[in-house]
Structure formats: structure tokens, C-alpha cells
């Protein structure tokens, strides 16, 4: 084992490999920082460039893009309030208010350090627990997946903001939007009303960009006088306190550990991934906090949870890939394809037949996270320049980036019409104080829930199987507890807010 | 503004927002009810107990229920509040439009841009959008206008060239 580890490490630590990894890290960060461009797209674009490289070198470069990409989404989430990737939705909840509150440097630094530690922790777990965790993950059937998704949907109850009903409506709207287009089992068209733009369904990323990016960008220009004066996104002096922030992140070991564990576990489940992990980790951190009401106002714990959670899915996703040859996400499937291009069969025998490759991948993950940290910390000043650009210059430019990102997903013009309508609907909902995060969660989880519900009933039409299978029952009980807990807490918070107002009268 | 006037303006704004939410809830509820009925016409499957319409019906039923609950609670809150100042309320939509004229301008420009991008091609349509949006938002100074034009060129022809030559991704080209 040690020999294989050293052999893999020596290959990864070659100067040329490190240089290429640095390029990959920068590419991943920049791509993910642009709304509409995902980690998956960055990796797809990198894949052909790695064909001429030795297998481990190619993988190391792609892993750098992967790790960099999970952090890059943080930049636009913190500075513009727009999640650069679906995995940074929860980052906007606290990083953006913190940045708007005059501390953009702190918000970015906390996210970067949390991402770094999240990746390191997930790599450690990957090293130790890959085979047993992968075995557990593949034993879960559609009943367990459906129950898990029901549990994940209950997060809606804690993301609702001021009104529980409006939050639930937003979540249900997300589920409803996900039903447009071909049904996920038989491909029958649904609710397209003969409109071409609706026939393929509403692409999740276009909905995400419309709901978060377009509505946020347009609301930036509400104050016409300030916009024409040339007001920038952040007006205060920007301070960097890198090491102080590192200590601040490390002073939250429980949050880091819990969020990274959520990330690893969600990453290890095929089909889940960073887009769910960041919300789940945020939700868990909020529930565990003694001041949950402060979440959403710019607290460090919220940023740490989201960024550690999404970055840890990178290591988690490699668990089923390495141990069983099952890609957990689109990115893992591309990594697998790159190995297959080199004639390497991924599966349980990989770690026995090519241990230096597998250990090399582990070392690559660590090196990639160090490179990501170095790139982010050294280029933070450049990223932060974004906040100094006047709104009149940045708003149209980012809207064009959103358009390009939406088009480049499927090369479909009709996706752009969807973007326009969803952007407008997102702005209206935002103006009426409907929370947008539950809507996005509904769109992500809807198809997974429907597929697994129908698959489980196809296998066994008995509904009681959801309660008789222990893991499924456990998730469902957890879902009920989660809802009850959230409702009780929400009522208490409403009563506490109403209390001081009533006193004077 | 005196304290009672400010209080009255706040109350009018609150009532206006509640009425807008009521309209939204009713619209969502009606749309969900229509789609619930429409989902019933989706064919059942021979291979599985749940057909293509079952899950959507579940979701739309939930949405109808939530919309009804929300609308009821809004009506209850409106009834519990002080009597409505109909004149002030009638003026609210106009004020809302005036306050958000830039938002409306940007949405219109963006909508026209998205509609024309397939016909004019990415570069020309983007150049037009960036110029219109930039010039409507920017201060009226030569320096700002120079920045707007430079950005418009960079994000239209520049971005198109970058995608085509570096990433081999081709953005929409002009038709005909």
C-alpha cells in the first residue's frame, strides 16, 4: 500500500503535472464563478485536452478543475448573490448578506477555507472508508431513495423565511415546474401544450439561473438614482484577514465535521451530489445552532456549512466510482470516461490492479485543494474588484453571461425563452417575498422523487414497503421529526417577533 | 412626512403587498387546479401502478391546498386591519411602475434580446442589448458611455470569438 501510495504521489508531484493542475484549478474556479457555467461543463471542456496525457496526469488535471469548480461557485454567490453553480445555492444565504454588510473579503475567505477543509476531510474519509461506504450506498433501493428525497424535501420547512405558507408554496411550485416535459419513466409528454420550449422540460440549470441570477440582477437596478450615480455592489473598504479567518473557520470544528460528513454521504449516493449537499449541510448547521434566527443574515456558520458540504461531495462522489465503478454524478461519469479512454476498467478490482492510480487520485485531491487555496487566496483581490464595478456596467454584462450559460447547456434557443420567463417569474416572487431556495430545491428533487416512487411501486406495489424497510422507515421518521421541529421553531420565532411589537400597545 | 402620514403610507404599502400576494395565490391556485384536471387526462401505464399523471396530480393538489390556505390567511389579515384607503391603494400600481421604471426597461430590453438572438445572431443581438441596457443605466458622461460601448463590443463579438475559437462552442448565428 505504502509503495503504491508513494508511486502515485511521485507521479502527481512532477513539476509538469503540478503546472497543469494549477491551470486546471484556475479554469475550474473561473468557469464556476460565471453564473450558468457548471463544474460539469468545465470538466467536459477539459476532457479532450487530457487524452494525450498519461492517465494519472489527466485525472489529476480534471480533479483540479473539479475541486476548483466547487469553490468557484462561491465567488459569484458571495459577491453578486448569484450561485455560480447549483452547489453554491446555500452559500448565497449568508455570504451575500455578509458581503453586502461591508465584509466581502471575510465572506470569500471563510468560504475558501471551508472549501479547503471540506475537501481535505472528504479525502481522508475517501482514503479510509471508500469500500464500506460504497457497499452501503449501492444496497439502497428506490424505497430508500424516495424516503431520502422526502427527508431532503423537508429542508423546505427550514428555508421558508418569514412565512411558512409562502415557503411551502415556493417548494411545491418547484416540484410542479419539474413535472413539465417528458415523464421520467416512460418519456410521455406532459404539460407542454404544444409549445416547443416546454417539450423537453424545463432544464434545472436554466430555472436556477432565471430564478436566482436574473431576478437578483434586475433587482439591483431598482434604485434608479443610485444606479445612475455609479454605485458599486460594495461601497465599504475591503479588508483581508486571511489567517484570522482561517482561525475563525477552524474554531467551528463541529460544523466543519458535520457539514463535510453530510457532503461525503450525499456525494457517495449516486444521483445526489453537491446541489443537494450544500442545502442539507446548511439546514443541519441551522438546526444545530443556538441562534438559528441569525442564519440568513450573514453568519460565518452558514457559509462554512454550505462550502464545506459542497466541497466534500468531491471526495464522496469518488467513493462509489473507485470502489464499485458506479459514477455518482455527471462529473464522476466524465472522470470514469477519461479512465476508459486510456483502457482502464473502473470497478472493484481497480484498487487491487492499479493501486498507484487510485492512491495517486487521493494525492491529487489533496494537491488540488492546496492549489485551489493558493489560487483563491492570491487572486482574491482580483475577484473582489467585481464588487467595485458600478452596477450599470456589471448588470448587463452578467445578464449576457447568464444567456450564454443557458444556451451552452443544450445549444437550444428555446431554453433562452424559458430563461426570460423564469427570470420574470422569479423577480415577481422575490418582490412578493416568496423564498426562492425552496423552489430550486423542489426543481432539483422533484424528478428524483417521482422516479424512485414509481420505480419502487413497479417493483412492489405494496405501499407499506416504505415503512417496513428499516432504512426507508428511518428516513421517513426523520422527515416527520424534521417538519414538526421546523414548524414549532417557526411558530416560536413568529411569536418572539410579535411579542415586542405587542408590548407598547 | 409627519408620523401619522408615514404610518398611513406604511399601512397602505402593507395592504398593497398583501393584495398582490392574494392575486398571486389565487392565480397559482387556479393554474394548479387546471393542471390537476389536465394531469388526469394523461394515460395510465400498463407496467406500473402509477401513471405519468399520478405524481403531478399529487403535487398540484398540494399546491391548490396551500394556495387556498394562503389566500384565506391573507383575507383574514386584511379584514383584521384598519379600513382600506381606496384612493391611496389605487395610486399604488402607478407608483410601483414609476419607482421600478429601470427594472421594467431592463426586462423589456432583455425580452427583446432573447427573442431576437436567434434571428440576428448572438453578436449583433448582444451588442444591441448591451448598448440599450448600458445606456439606460449609465450616468450621462462621455467616460461612462465609452465604457458601455467597450463592454458591449467585448461581450458580443469578443465573447463569441472566445467561445468559437477556444472552446469550440458556437453561439447562435444569424438566420437567413
| pLDDT, tens digit, 9 for 90 and up, residues A5-16 | 888 889 899 999
User: Of the given ranges (A71-75, A149-153, A344-348, A400-404), which has the lowest mean pLDDT?
Assistant: A344-348
Nearest 5°: the CA angle A18, A23, A29 is: 120
State chain B's mean pLDDT as an integer: 88
What domain count does chain A have?
A: 1
> Tens digits of per-residue pLDDT, B40-92?
888 877 777 888 889 999 999 999 999 999 999 999 988 887 777 777 777 77
Q: Is B23 on the interface with A (CB under 8 A)?
A: no
By CA distance, what is A451's nearest residue in B?
A: B55
Give dist(CA A273, CA A330) in Å, integer.
9
Asked whether residue A62 is domain-assigned, the answer is yes
Asked whether residue A504 is domain-assigned, the answer is no
pLDDT at A204: 78
pLDDT more than 90, % of chain A? 21
Nearest 5°: the CA angle A363, A368, A373 is: 130
> Using the beta-carbon criterion (under 8 Å), do A224 and B148 form an inter-chain contact?
no
Asked whether residue A54 is domain-assigned, the answer is yes
> Using the beta-carbon criterion (under 8 Å), do B101 and A183 form an inter-chain contact?
no
pLDDT at A17: 93
Distance from CA of A49 to the nearest CA of B (A): 11
Mean pLDDT of A345-363: 80
pTM of the shown model: 0.77
Q: Is B153 on the interface with A (CB under 8 A)?
A: no
CA dihedral A79, B171, A436, A145 (to 10 degrees): -110
Which value does ipTM take for this structure? 0.91
State chain A's mean pLDDT as an integer: 83
Asked whether residue A503 is domain-assigned, the answer is no
Whether the pLDDT of residue A100 is over 90: the answer is no
Whether the pLDDT of residue B6 is over 80: the answer is no
Count how many residues are written for chain B: 176
User: Of the given ranges (A238-252, A289-303, A467-481), which has the lowest mean pLDDT?
Assistant: A238-252
Name the residue among A173, A185, A218 with its Cβ closest to that of B103. Answer: A218
Q: Is A465 on the interface with B (CB under 8 A)?
A: no
pLDDT at A503: 43
HEC-encoded secondary structure of B100-150: CHHHHHHHHHHHHHHHHHHHHCHHHHHHHHHHHHHHHHCCCCHHHHHHHHH
User: Of the given ranges (A132-146, A189-203, A298-312, B114-128), which has the lowest mean pLDDT?
Assistant: A132-146
Give dist(CA A51, CA B11) in Å, integer.
65
Asked whether residue A53 is domain-assigned, the answer is yes
Asked whether residue A492 is domain-assigned, the answer is yes
> Using the beta-carbon criterion (under 8 Å), do A169 and B63 form an inter-chain contact?
yes
Among A48, A169, A218, the residue to mutate for chain B (most B Cβ within 10 A): A169
> Using the beta-carbon criterion (under 8 Å), do A228 and B126 form an inter-chain contact?
no
CA dihedral A369, A67, A396, B172 (to 10 degrees): 150
Residues A222 and B99 sit within 8 Å (Cβ to Cβ) = yes
> Tens digits of per-residue pLDDT, A297-346?
889 999 999 999 988 888 887 877 777 666 666 677 778 777 877 777 77
Q: Which structural domain, as residue segments, surrounds residue A140?
A: 2-498
Mean pLDDT of A475-483: 86
> Using the beta-carbon criterion (under 8 Å), do B106 and A221 form an inter-chain contact?
yes
User: A232 has which bridge partners?
Assistant: A390
Q: Which of B18, B22, B16 is nearest to B92 (CA)?
A: B16
Mean pLDDT of A119-137: 76
Whether the pLDDT of residue B8 is over 60: the answer is yes
> Using the beta-carbon criterion (under 8 Å), do A399 and B110 form an inter-chain contact?
yes
Give dist(CA A357, CA A366) in Å, integer.
14
Asked whether residue A487 is domain-assigned, the answer is yes
Whether the pLDDT of residue A161 is over 70: the answer is no
Q: Which of A279, A293, A287 is nearest to A254 (CA)?
A: A287
Better-scored residue on pLDDT, A85 or A419: A419
Asked whether residue A505 is domain-assigned, the answer is no
Better-scored residue on pLDDT, A157 or A314: A314
Amino acid at each position: 500500500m505504502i509503495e503504491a501510495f508513494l508511486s502515485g504521489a511521485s507521479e502527481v508531484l512532477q513539476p509538469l503535472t503540478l503546472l497543469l493542475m494549477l491551470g486546471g484549478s484556475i479554469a475550474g474556479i473561473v468557469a464556476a464563478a460565471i453564473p450558468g457555467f457548471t463544474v460539469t461543463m468545465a470538466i467536459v471542456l477539459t476532457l479532450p485536452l487530457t487524452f494525450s496525457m498519461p492517465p494519472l496526469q489527466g485525472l489529476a488535471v480534471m480533479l483540479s478543475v473539479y475541486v476548483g469548480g466547487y469553490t468557484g461557485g462561491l465567488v459569484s454567490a458571495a459577491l453578486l448573490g448569484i450561485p455560480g453553480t447549483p452547489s453554491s445555492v446555500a452559500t448565497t444565504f449568508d455570504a451575500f448578506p455578509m458581503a453586502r454588510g461591508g465584509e466581502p473579503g471575510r465572506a470569500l475567505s471563510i468560504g475558501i477555507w471551508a472549501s479547503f477543509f471540506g475537501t481535505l476531510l472528504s479525502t481522508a474519509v475517501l482514503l479510509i472508508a471508500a469500500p464500506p461506504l460504497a457497499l452501503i450506498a449501492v444496497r439502497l433501493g428506490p424505497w430508500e431513495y424516495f424516503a431520502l428525497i422526502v427527508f431532503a424535501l423537508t429542508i423546505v420547512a427550514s428555508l421558508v423565511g418569514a412565512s411558512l405558507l409562502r415557503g411551502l408554496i415556493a417548494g411545491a411550485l418547484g416540484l410542479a415546474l419539474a413535472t413539465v416535459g417528458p415523464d421520467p419513466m416512460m418519456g410521455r409528454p406532459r404539460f407542454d401544450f404544444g409549445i416547443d420550449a416546454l417539450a423537453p422540460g424545463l432544464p434545472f440549470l436554466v430555472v436556477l439561473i432565471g430564478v436566482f441570477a436574473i431576478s437578483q440582477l434586475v433587482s439591483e437596478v431598482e434604485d434608479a438614482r443610485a444606479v445612475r450615480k455609479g454605485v458599486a455592489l460594495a461601497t465599504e473598504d475591503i479588508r483581508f484577514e486571511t489567517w484570522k479567518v482561517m482561525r475563525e473557520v477552524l474554531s467551528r470544528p463541529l460544523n466543519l465535521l458535520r457539514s463535510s460528513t453530510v457532503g461525503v454521504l450525499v456525494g457517495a449516493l449516486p444521483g445526489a451530489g453537491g446541489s443537494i449537499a450544500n442545502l442539507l449541510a446548511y439546514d443541519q448547521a441551522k438546526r444545530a445552532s443556538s441562534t438559528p434566527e441569525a442564519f440568513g443574515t450573514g453568519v460565518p456558520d452558514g457559509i462554512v456549512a454550505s462550502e464545506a458540504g459542497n466541497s466534500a461531495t468531491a471526495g464522496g462522489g469518488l467513493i462509489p466510482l473507485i470502489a464499485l465503478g458506479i459514477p455518482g454524478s455527471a462529473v464522476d461519469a466524465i472522470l470514469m470516461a477519461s479512465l476508459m479512454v486510456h483502457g482502464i476498467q473502473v470497478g472493484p478490482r481497480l484498487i487491487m490492479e492499479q493501486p498507484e492510480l487510485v492512491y495517486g487520485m487521493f494525492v491529487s485531491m489533496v494537491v488540488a485543494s492546496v492549489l485551489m487555496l493558493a489560487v483563491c487566496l492570491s487572486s482574491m483581490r482580483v475577484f473582489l474588484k467585481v464588487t467595485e464595478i458600478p452596477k450599470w456596467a456589471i448588470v448587463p454584462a452578467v445578464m449576457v453571461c447568464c444567456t450564454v450559460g443557458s444556451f451552452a447547456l443544450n445549444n437550444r434557443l428555446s431554453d433562452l425563452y424559458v430563461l426570460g420567463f423564469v427570470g420574470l417569474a422569479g423577480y415577481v416572487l422575490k418582490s412578493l417575498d416568496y423564498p426562492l431556495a425552496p423552489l430550486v430545491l423542489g426543481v432539483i428533487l422533484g424528478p428524483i422523487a417521482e422516479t424512485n416512487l414509481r420505480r419502487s411501486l413497479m417493483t412492489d406495489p405494496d405501499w407499506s414497503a416504505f415503512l417496513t424497510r428499516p432504512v426507508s422507515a428511518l428516513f421517513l421518521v426523520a422527515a416527520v421529526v424534521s417538519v414538526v421541529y421546523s414548524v414549532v421553531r417557526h411558530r416560536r420565532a413568529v411569536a418572539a417577533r410579535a411579542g415586542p411589537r405587542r408590548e407598547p400597545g | 412626512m409627519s408620523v401619522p402620514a408615514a404610518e398611513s403610507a406604511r399601512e397602505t404599502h402593507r395592504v398593497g403587498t398583501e393584495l398582490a400576494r392574494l392575486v398571486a395565490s389565487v392565480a397559482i391556485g387556479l393554474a394548479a387546479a387546471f393542471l390537476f384536471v389536465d394531469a388526469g387526462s394523461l394515460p395510465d401505464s400498463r407496467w406500473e401502478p402509477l401513471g405519468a399523471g399520478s405524481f403531478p396530480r399529487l403535487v398540484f393538489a398540494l399546491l391548490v391546498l396551500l394556495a387556498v390556505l394562503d389566500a384565506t390567511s391573507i383575507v383574514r389579515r386584511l379584514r383584521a386591519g384598519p379600513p382600506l384607503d381606496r384612493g391611496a391603494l389605487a395610486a399604488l400600481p402607478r407608483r410601483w411602475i414609476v419607482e421600478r421604471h429601470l427594472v421594467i426597461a431592463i426586462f423589456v430590453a432583455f425580452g427583446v434580446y432573447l427573442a431576437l438572438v436567434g434571428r440576428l445572431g448572438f453578436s449583433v443581438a448582444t451588442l444591441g442589448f448591451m448598448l440599450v441596457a448600458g445606456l439606460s443605466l449609465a450616468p450621462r458622461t462621455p467616460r461612462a458611455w465609452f465604457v458601455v460601448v467597450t463592454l458591449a463590443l467585448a461581450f458580443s463579438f469578443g465573447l463569441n470569438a472566445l467561445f468559437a475559437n477556444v472552446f469550440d462552442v458556437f453561439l447562435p448565428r444569424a438566420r437567413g
